[in-house]
Structures are given as structure tokens and as C-alpha cells.
Structure 1
Amino acid sequence: MRKIILILFFILSLNIHAQKGSSQFSFFGGYEHFPELWESKGYNIGVEFKHYLNNHIYVLANFHAGINDGSKTTNYTKGDINYNFPLTNSVRDYMLGFGLGGDLLQKNRHKIYMQGTAGIGSSEQYKDGIILSPGGAYDMIKTFEEKSTRFAISVSAGYDYQLTKWLSVGVNYTGWQIGYEYKNSINAKLGIKF
């Protein structure tokens, strides 16, 4: 434990570029993994605001929208007839969070950071299912809808490169927990410092 504290102290004592009182507004977007869906590949977009309390620690607010439009074709035989049903499963996740973050490394134009937020999230899911008609003569597709608003958290680790005094680019890995569902994303980021 003592070694870890010494290493963190050393990293935090390196060259400092973030200034107390400065702020940054960022746009991000990228690939998001939806493990509970038929088609797990989706994408996300969002915005983030950081305000530095000192040279390393900042408060932040972020908004995230995760989007997935998956589909699956179900084939089966009933009697002598082959059935093909295209089924869709779509999700829209939204989160508004507030939290803290810190720069672990600041060296020249490079910055490595970690941050976390807590807030509120909402999820809308639409899932198709095959149901039998009342007489059992034919099958049909019905869309089931589920909407909920729940507690949400996010944790990010990322890297920023300062292009100019006011513009930076970066990448991050973020885990999103909205209610009981965990999703993760890899994002590209564009930041404006003021």
C-alpha cells in the first residue's frame, strides 16, 4: 500500500497543465457494448463539463445517450410450414450524472485521468416476441415495451492530448450502470478549454 501511495504522489507531482479555476467542455461518442441484447453492438454520444478545483481535481457533469437497434431472424417449422420472423430489440439509455475526477498524470501535452459520476438514468426497451393466436392457427409478432427511470453511475479512465491552449482530443473507456444493466463504451473525445 505504501508503494502505491508513493507512486501516486510521484505521478501527481509531475509537470502541471490544468489550472485551478479552468473549465473544459467536451463532446464524445463511440462504440457501446449492450451485453443483454441479441445484437450487442451499439453506439453512444454525450457531452461533459469539467471545472478544476485545483491543479488536479475537478468536478464534472455529464450526459450520455446509448443507442442500440438490434435484430434477429427466427426460423422454425410448424406442421409442414417454415416460418421466418424478423425480430427487433432496441434500447435507448440516457444518463445525467455529477461527480469528481482527477488527473493522474500531466506531462507536457499529455493527460491521463479517472473520474466517476452518479445520477439518474432512464431506459426504453422495445423487444419483439412471437405469440400464438388464440386459436393456435397462426403466429404473430408482438412488441413488448419497457420504460424505467433509475439510479445510475459511470466510471471512466481516459487520455487527452492538448492540441492548442484551448483544444484537446482524447479517448476514454467508460462503464455505465443504469439500474441493473451494465454497459461499457470506448469513445473518441473533443474538448474545448476556457
Structure 2
Amino acid sequence: MADQPWPFTVLLVCTGNICRSALAERLGRAYLTERLGADAAAVRLESAGTRAVVGSAMHPDSALVLQGYGAEAGDFRARQLADGMSADADLTLTMTRVHRREVLRAAPRALQRTFTLREAADLAQLLDPARRLDGADLPSRARSLVKEMAAARSLRHGGDEDDVPDPIGKPLHVHEQVGELIVGALLPVLSRIADLRDATPAGV
């Protein structure tokens, strides 16, 4: 894309920002780079924690799981969730329903752009992939996709299955199981977004 438009921002939220959301951020970045090449700059992935271990590196077990998927933690450092982050994000994906409530308590106007990760995966897959979305570029079409996801909320019923459990303090195999849950939910969402690069916009 020449003259990149303002990027579509995805904010990933968990508690400490050293396991779940950290892994999701770096995994998502690697996936989009592989999928979109230079056009990956049209989507910005960030993460934060509701009670972050600020400045800490990714948890060693999460980093090991991440390596198993071909990505690296690199210079990752945990950040505390600030009120403006979710207000400014185009899409906020939380690891649990509790995190979603905490995000919305600080930024209630972000309701239509805030989902648990697993909720978003279900909603993205409920939508017709052939449906044309408003927007002249990937970021604007992705914003239209989020509106469609919010409108589809009534088509499903959430529950415990919407949560990605916290692996902190657990054995490596639990981190691996959590990694599988994140991959299984995050990649379908990012795939739908990446598909919008070459999509025909509505009205054309």
C-alpha cells in the first residue's frame, strides 16, 4: 500500500501482560507480517494488562510456546492498561469476560469495539466472508467488520467458553494449552482482517 492510511489498531488485554496478551501480540504480528508483507503496517497490534507487571519481559514459558509457533518475544515489555488505550483502539480483544468488564468500566463508549478474544473469533466466523464492507482500504474495511461483529452479538450466547484461562504459576503444558486456545481464536480474526486487503468494497 502506498501512502498508508491510519492503521487499524487491535488492543489485546489480559492481567499481567506477560503471558496471554503478550503471546497474542507477538504471534499476531508474526502472522500478519507473513500474510501481508509490507502491508502488515496497516494493522497495529498492541497489548496491555489490567494489573500489568510493568516493564517485565514475556514470561519464559509463554516465550517458549511462542517460539514453537515460529515467533519471538524479542524486546517485549509489559504495559499497564491506560484509559485512553481502549478508547482509541479500533478493536479490543480481552482474554476473559472480567477483563472485558474492566475495559468497559474505563471506556464505556468502546462497547461496540470490545470483545473477548474467543467471542470475536466466533463472531468473525458467523459473518458471510463474501459480504462487501464499506471502506476504500484495509483499515477502513476492518472498522466496518468490527461494526458487523458487534451487530451479530445477538446470534450467540457467551459463557465460560469465552475465557482464556491464566497460565501464570502453572506448568509448561498449561502454557501450551493456553497457547493453542489463543492461536485457535486469534488467527481466524486476523485472517478475516487480512482478507480485507484485496476485498472489493461495498458499492463497487
Specify the TM-score bucket, using the shorter chain as the normaliser: under 0.3
Structure whose CA Rg is larger:
1
- State TM-score, norm by structure 2: 0.23
More helix by share: 2
More strand by share: 1
Which structure is higher in RCO with an 8 Å CA cutoff and minimum separation 6?
Answer: 2
